[in-house]
Structures are given as C-alpha cells and as structure tokens.
Chain A
Amino acid sequence: MATIEQTTEIGAPAHRGASPGHDPHATATGVPNTKLAMWIFLASDCLFFGAFIATYLLYRGRDKVGPGPKELFDIPFTSATSFILLMSSLTMVLALAAIQRGDERRLRIWLLATALLGATFIAGQVFEFTEFNHEGLNLNTNLFGSTFFILTGFHGAHVTAGIIWLMSLWGMASQGRLKQGDSEKVEIAGLYWHFVDVVWIVIFTVIYLVPQPAAPGGG
C-alpha cells in the first residue's frame, strides 16, 4: 500500500482551480495533501505493527517446545544490521537535503546509499531466517516461531517496499526527472523510510533486548 501512496499525486495535476502564480499545493490546513496522506497512512500502519507486537508480547514465554529466542539469537549480529538500518535514515536525510539544495548528483548518491543500506539489512534478515530455520525454528514449531517470523517478516516486507520505492526515485533522478521542485516526493518517501526504521527500533527492543523467559524443552 505504501507504494500506492507514493504514486498518488505524481503526475496528478493541481486541479483545484489553481491559477498561475498560486502555489498549487496551498491547502486549508497548510499541509500538502500527499504529506498529510502519508502521515495518516503511517498512523494506520502503527496499528498494524502494534497488533503484531502485542501478539508477540502476549505469547512470550508461553511455548511448550523449543527452540526459543535464547538458543537462537545472535544479538551482536542483529545489532549490527539494526545499526545499518538506522544509518540509512541518516543517508535519507542527506538525500532530502540534497534535493532541497538542488544538488541532483548527491541526491542520486544518497538515494542509492539508503537503498543499499536497506538491502543490507534485508540480506541480514534473510541470513538470520535461514540460520534459525537450520536450527529448527519454523512458523509451525512454536508460538515464538509464528510470532517472530510473521512480525519481522512483515517489517522486512515494508523495508523491501521502501527499497523498491527508493530505487524508483533513484531511477527518476538518473533520468533527470527529479528536480529541486520535486523535493516533496523525496520527503514523502523519507517519511515512510524513517517510520519503518523507528518501527524496527521498537521491534528490536521488544524481541531482542527485553530479557527472554527460557523456553521449556530448550537448551
């Protein structure tokens, strides 16, 4: 759905009877339409992740069989990938700053960097999933497996959608179709990207950092 938001007003004319010389984005609240829409979407998405996180918390420590988080987690590794994801928020900020300055070359660099950092995070997640799988954790192993894979998996899907979005912007920028006046498009993508990062901070804290109860049957 995120990508829908992105493309909503691209190419859609300012048709509110705007005449030349007027700011086509003038609205009753002063907030541009796309930005307001993105904020509302993100608020909605908060409930989406909130419901998954609540489920995870409710089911913590209720497993009847292992393996549980204690046997599986490699906190340093996941901390590293989390750090990479957080750094991508920085590059995202730099990308926005670049387009607002009209610096298209740096815009392209930072967009690409953000996408690559995101992709690194996803690669880490794929590696982690594979490792857990080898150690005997599947969706159907226990509640930890179900909640962990679905929650982090849907977060990964959000990041992936963000990467596709960023690469689309990068493609536009490379064709010279992302000018200084289009900074709102980058800003909207940035809002989404920062949100996905913030959600990860919550997920990382809840899943990895809050002390785990030992799973019965586990080591």
Chain B
Amino acid sequence: MTTVAGALTTVKRRPLLLRRPTKTTGAFSWFTTIDHKKIGIMYCATAMLFFLVGGLEALLIRLQLAGPNGTVVTAAQYNELFTMHGTTMVFLVGMPMAVGIANYFVPIMIGARDVAFPRLNAFGFYVVVAGGIFLYSSWIPGINGVPNGGWFGYTPLTDTPLTAGFLPGRGPDFWTVGVVMLGIGSTTSAINFIVTILNLRAPGMTLMRMPVFVWMMLVVAFLTVFAMPIITVALIMVFFDRNYGSLFFQASAGADPLLYQHLFWLFGHPEVYILILPGMGIVSEILPVFSRKPLFGYSVVVFSGIAIGFLGWGVWAHHMFATGLGPVAISAFGVSTMLIAVPTGVKIFNWLSTVWRGAVRLTTAMLFALGFIAMFTIGGLSGVLHSVVPSDTQQTDTYFVVAHFHYVLFGGLLFGVFGGFYYWLPKVYGRMLDERVGKINFWTMLIGFNLTFFPMHFVGLYGMPRRTYRYDAGLGWDAWNLVETIGAFVIAVSTLIFLANIIVSIMLKRGAVAGDDPWDGRTLEWTTTSPPPDYNFADIPEIEGRDAHWHHKYTEDEEGRLMPLPSGGAAAAAEGDGHHDGIHMPSPSIYPLITGLGLLPLGYAAVYHSFAWLGVGVVVLLYGLYAWAIEPGTEPDESDHGGGAPARVPEPVH
C-alpha cells in the first residue's frame, strides 16, 4: 500500500475518534480493510463457511429421510433444519458468494481501482456477517428461537402471536429480523455495484464493451435494490403481527394472508434471478477463454440477461398456482413464465455456439461451466413443466420442485461459482489449483449432485410432498430416497476435495505459480499481476474493444482466424511499473465494522423488546456513523506526493 501517511498528521485529532488505521498487512488489517479485493475474499470465505453449515444441515435432512419413518431428528428439529438450510443457502451462501466474486473482480474487469464507496462496501459485508451471527445465535441453548417457519415464512403460520401456539418459540422473530439485516447488507452492496459499474469504468470501457459477468452483476444489483424493500416490508408486517398485535395477515380481522405470498414472491422471484444471473455471468467468462473464441452473440447474451431481469418481475404468482387465484390470473402467469424460458434458451444456444468449433481446453473451470449448461438446462426444463399450470398443481410442494430449484441453484449458480473459483483463484492468490484434483472434484460433484437431485424428480412425480420429516414405508419412495442420501454424501466428499485442493495448492503454496495470465484470458483482470496490487492497475487502462486483454495479444487474419500479435503476450499491460507511488488508495477504517456490528444489538433489542440492547445498539450505531463521517481521509490536500505518471481520470462516455 502506498498511502501517504504524512497527510494524517495535519488533521487535528478529535475526541473519541480512533486513529485511522494505516496498516494494510497483518491479521488485524482484515478487520479494517476497505480494499474491495480483501472484502471479496472475506465474502467468499464467509459464504463458504455457511455453505459447509448449510450442507451439514442438508446431510442431517438426508439422513433423516434415508429411510421411511426416520428418527435421526425430531419433527421440530427437522422443521428447523429445512428452514435454516434454505435461509442459509439463499441469503448466506448464494448471495454473498456472488457478491464476493463480483467484489473482487467487477472493479478490475472495468479497469477501476476500487468500488465507488469502499467503506460502505465493508459495512455491507459486516452487516451480512452480523445477520449470519444473529440467525445462528438462535441455536444457542436457552434461546428457543431457531427459525422454523420455512425460508418462505408463510403467514399466518409465522405471524400468529406466540399465544396461539402455531410456531412455539422465537423462531420467526429471529428469522424476520435476521433476514431484514441481510437485506440491508445486500442493498448497500447493490447500490455500490451500480454506482461502481456505471461511474468507474475506465476510459473506453463503454457499456457494450463490459464483460458479461459485469453486466449480469449490474442487472443483479438493480434486482436487489428493487426486490429487497418489498420483502423488508413483508417481514416488518410479520414482525409487528407477532410482537405488537397488528393484524396484517390475520384472516379473522378481515386481512388476506395471501398478501404476504404476493409480497414475498414479488421479492422471491427476482431473488431467483439474483442468484442465477451471476452464475450465467461467470460461465459467459469461462467458456470463451477455454474455447479460444469470443462469446457468441455477446449483445444477445447481455440483452437476454436484461430481459430475464425485467420478465422476472412478472412471474411471481407462478409460486401460487395452487392458492386459488382464478383461471385468468393463473393463465397469464403461466404464459409469462413460459415466456421467460425464451431468453434463457437463447443464452444456452449462444454458450453452446461459443464452444462450437473452438479450441476447447477441458480444464476444471471449463468442465464446471459445461456442467452448468447441462444441469441448468435440466432445471430450466423442469421449470417449464411448472409453467404448465394444471400439472404444476400436482407438482408444487413436492420433491419435483425441490429437484427443479436445486438443478437451477446448485447445478446452476454453484457449478458456476466452483468454475469461477478454479478460473479466478489463481489470479487472487497467484497459485494454480491442482487440475487433477480439480477434475476429481468436478466428476464427484457432478455424480453426487445427480444422484442426490435426479431421483427427487421421480419421488416428486410419485407424490412425495416436501417439508415432511417422515414418510411411510411402502409408498415406492424408499429406494430413491436412499440413493439421494448417498448422493448427498458424495457431494460432501467432493466439497472436502475442493477444500483440500485450496488448502494444499494455495494455503500451503504447493500449487504452480500462476503468472499474470495463466489461462490466456480475455478480460482486464489478466493484464495485472496475480495477485493484483492494492491499486489494481498502475495505469488505468484505455479500452479499445470488448475482451480488452485479448486485443493486447491477438488479432484476426483475413479469414477471421486467431492471429497472435507479433509483440505478443501481456507485455503491453506490464508497463508503467514503478510509477505507482502517486496512487492514493483510501486508508483502512474500523468504522464499517463497528457500524455493521451495531445492528446486532439492535436485532436482539427487537426480538427481546429490550431497551438495554436498544441503548447499546443505538450508541454503537451512532458512534460508528458519526466517526465514519468525520474520519479524516488520507488524500493529500494540496500536492501530489508521488510525482509519478499521473493516473488518468475516467472520461465521461457521453
């Protein structure tokens, strides 16, 4: 880090204000860092941790269901497990994993040095951490509050006050408050992404030159910004119903419990695309690199992503086909749901055409990307079956649906994410992951995944309802359920193989040194060093076309074939070394951490109606905010201390 500490001394110290930290190395620096790359790593590490926790919950669920009338867990525990599994995988794995990868790579891919609001970025991360801690603290003995109303939290089960006894304990209270906290975290990070992507693009990086992953994250950020307030409102109403006797979903008072479902799915369906679009983006980066061809139909892939983002708002009621909305409404939503299959199909055809006649390298990343296409297609097709409303009334709330969304979210998002890890971790740590182990990882994951989730199609079609802690013997579901359980353990083994690969290759530094551009990459992140310097680029790059780094290395001959440029390689990008003394990165700050964790006591205050917790929370939050506001910056006030080549300011595109 090349901050100019001298500037600090001129700033008068204020009472109660901690000295702004300057260290960017060492263990403590992780708590104060506002470097988008470190925050990205922390997001991914946190999400990976919760992936293990949520996976453990899944294994318990599968153990319970391995045979008929299982007794591994009680009914109450089972309901807690599937609620926490769903909530964890959606809010604490899927979203933070994508946000983490995007945090690291979006600024680099658009040629920026950081996100628009580095401290807000850190704050968003700590809010997610606080939300995770809060949700999981409900498992502390004596709290009696593990969420047990499902990740969807349908009313009136969840909003009926304790005294009516439908859901004993404080489970839904922890769930509503926890999810609101996670919503605050993801909204701040989404706002940050939008501003970063729109405002901080390097000169020449027009919108239609941006990598597809960046595009997809832009769509995701907009979806997040508009979807999160809706569920926040629904959760606020549930919370007030449970705790303060309001009547938002109490039918006896004239209210309509279905309103909650409308609000929830008005959030929930865009949420599905919030989860899957990053996976589509990652795959759109991996496939061209390992096919040595540009993405086929770039603009179509981009626009179909945007189309999915828009159409995603018009299909929410397909989660409610059995609720009795009337034939006209369900016909309309059935057709709109079919409509969304069109842009999705278009993407799949474009991906396949990208690989077609390419020079395919079957690296682990590529295998995961191809696995994504296949698995996501299966999930998409079972989704089309759900849009056939009458048959959905047989399939909804059965294991067929469980199979469907695991193919979309695990076969889709997580295969994309794993591919992304194999693709990008060499950039992050400068070490390659072991490819042989990686292939074992991929094949075990693919086999385990299909063993687990493919039979769910069958048992679902054979009438097995979901969210049931036991089933009777002799219904023709037993064998398939056993297969599913075995598959779940294969996935677990595969996950351990992945972690072992990371530990050995990266933590123990046994992996081969990656170099700047190990994959012959196409986008800007491969122009800088592995790992990139704090400031990402010594010189802000000038962008001359899509696949900016590819243009440094290649051109096309008359027949349109790949031709290496004579100068070759990444040399063009390596210039400017030694000129970076003039780059001023913001100093670390402790206040995002303090402010973010300040939400934690506020959460307990809400659940326990406790003024003591409220006081603590307000004091911490206000202290964090004010200190944040008046914390001295580190930019030199008058003069440029480095004197090196002045970095360029992004030019407005218009």
Contact = CB atoms under 8 A, between A and B. Distances in A.
Contact of A168 (B233, B253, B629): B629
Interface in A37-75: 37, 40-41, 43-45, 47-48, 51-52, 55, 58-59, 62-64
Contact of B652 (A29, A43, A47, A62): A29
Given A4-B120, A41-B191, A44-B187, A139 B245 contact: yes
A52 B635 contact: no
B154 interface: no
B463 to A, nearest CB: 35
A17 B184 contact: no
Contact of A12 (B117, B198, B201): B117
Nearest to A58: B259
Using C-beta atoms within 8 Å of the partner chain, give the interface range for chain B: 35 or more
Given A1-B184, A63-B254, A8 B229 contact: no
A28 interface: yes
Contact of B650 (A12, A26, A36, A37): A26
A80 interface: no
Contact of B629 (A7, A18, A29): A7
Contacts of A43: 225-226
Nearest to A141: B247
A28 B191 contact: no
Interface residues on A, range: 35 or more
Interface in B297-340: none
A61 B237 CA distance: 19
Nearest to A1: B184
Interface string A1-45: 101111111111111111110110011111101001100110111
Interface stretch (B359-367, B453-461, B558-566, B581-589): B581-589
A31 B199 contact: yes
B107 to A, nearest CB: 10
Interface string B56-88: 000000000000000000000000000000000
B1 to A, nearest CB: 12
Interface in A114-173: 138-140, 142-143, 145-147, 149-150, 154, 168
B123 A4 contact: yes
B89 interface: no
Given A6-B629, A37-B191, A44-B225, A28 B200 contact: yes
Given A48-B229, A58-B256, A16 B649 contact: yes
A19 B240 contact: no
A142 B252 CA distance: 10
Interface string B626-654: 10111111110011100000111111111
Contacts of A20: 638-640
B586 A13 contact: yes
A209 B114 CA distance: 48
Contacts of B648: 17
A145 to B, nearest CB: 8
Interface in B107-144: 112-114, 116-120, 123
Contacts of B233: 48, 51-52, 55
A140 B633 CA distance: 49
B194 interface: yes
Given A12-B118, A28-B200, A31-B199, A40 B225 contact: yes
B117 A8 contact: yes
Nearest to A44: B225
A178 B237 CA distance: 40
Nearest to B4: A13
Contact of B649 (A1, A26, A29, A47): A26
B582 A55 contact: no
Contacts of A29: 198-199, 652-654
Contact of A11 (B205, B595, B631, B652): B631
A33 B116 CA distance: 7
Interface string B224-262: 011011101110110010001111100001111001000
B637 to A, nearest CB: 10
A4 B599 CA distance: 13
A47 B244 contact: no
A1 B598 CA distance: 13
Interface in B575-609: 582-586, 595
B194 A143 contact: no
A12 B199 contact: no
Contact of A15 (B187, B586, B595): B586
Which of A11, A23, A58, A63: most chain B CB closer than 10 A? A11
A3 B627 CA distance: 13
A7 B592 CA distance: 11
B540 interface: yes
A108 B232 CA distance: 36
Nearest to A21: B646
Given A27-B650, A31-B199, A140 B244 contact: yes
Nearest to B187: A44
Nearest to A185: B629
Nearest to B119: A12
Given A10-B629, A11-B631, A59 B255 contact: yes
Contacts of B192: 37
Contacts of B632: 11
Most buried by B among A4, A14, A43: A4
B263 interface: yes
B188 interface: yes
A48 B234 CA distance: 10
Contact of B247 (A10, A48, A140): A140
Interface of B: 112-114, 116-120, 123, 184, 187-188, 191-192, 194-195, 198-201, 205, 225-226, 228-230, 232-234, 236-237, 240, 244-248, 253-256, 259, 263, 535, 540, 582-586, 595, 625-626, 628-635, 638-640, 646-654
11 contacts: A4-B625, A8-B120, A17-B113, A19-B582, A22-B649, A27-B199, A28-B651, A36-B198, A55-B237, A143-B253, A143-B254
Interface of A: 1, 3-20, 22-23, 26-31, 33, 36-37, 40-41, 43-45, 47-48, 51-52, 55, 58-59, 62-64, 138-140, 142-143, 145-147, 149-150, 154, 168
Given A17-B584, A20-B639, A41-B225, 6 more contacts: A33-B117, A37-B116, A45-B229, A62-B255, A138-B245, A147-B248
The 7 A-B residue pairs with the shortest CB-CB distance in the complex, in nearest-first order: A17-B647, A13-B635, A140-B245, A27-B199, A19-B646, A48-B229, A146-B246
